[in-house]
Amino acid sequence: DSTKKTIQDQIQKQWGDVKFDVIIDDGLHTPQANADTFLNLVEFLHDDGVYYIEDVWPLDIMKDEWNHSWMKKNPTKYNMEKWNYFESAIKDYNIKRHDLRVDSNMPDSYIFEIRK
């Protein structure tokens, strides 16, 4: 479970002091899980590596989509408090956003590309 701190010990036990060129978060797709996974794994990223978070719900720009059925069913997971936590986790990094929502017609077709 990449959202738990124990993932760090598991990685070190399996591979030692490994550094990855690329890390892709394709996990739970909630702001809290995205933030926790990032905070737990970013230390394993090479200084020139890239960290991708896919299928993000970009709540900061989804003003017209708050009525989406998934968000209405899960208000404790998809809210601005959780989004702010996610943004605070990545704020000190170089971030590029890839908005694929129009092409896919899916509200979570959004990718964060993060570099140190």
Per-residue pLDDT reduced to its tens digit, 7-16: 999 999 999 9
**What pLDDT score was predicted for residue 69?**
81
On the question of pLDDT at 89 being above 90, the answer is: yes
111 pLDDT above the threshold of 90: yes
Task: Give residue 38's pLDDT.
Answer: 98
Q: What is the DSSP string of the chain?
A: -TTSTHHHHHHHHHHSS--EEEEEE-S--SHHHHHHHHHHHGGGEEEEEEEEE-S---GGG-GGGTT-HHHHH-TTTSSHHHHHHHHHHHTTSEEEEEE-HHHHT-TT-EEEEEE-
Q: Is the pLDDT of residue 105 over 90?
A: no
| Residue 50 pLDDT | 98
What is the structure's pLDDT at 5?
96
- pLDDT tens digits, residue range 23-69? 999 999 999 999 999 999 999 999 999 999 999 989 998 866 777 78
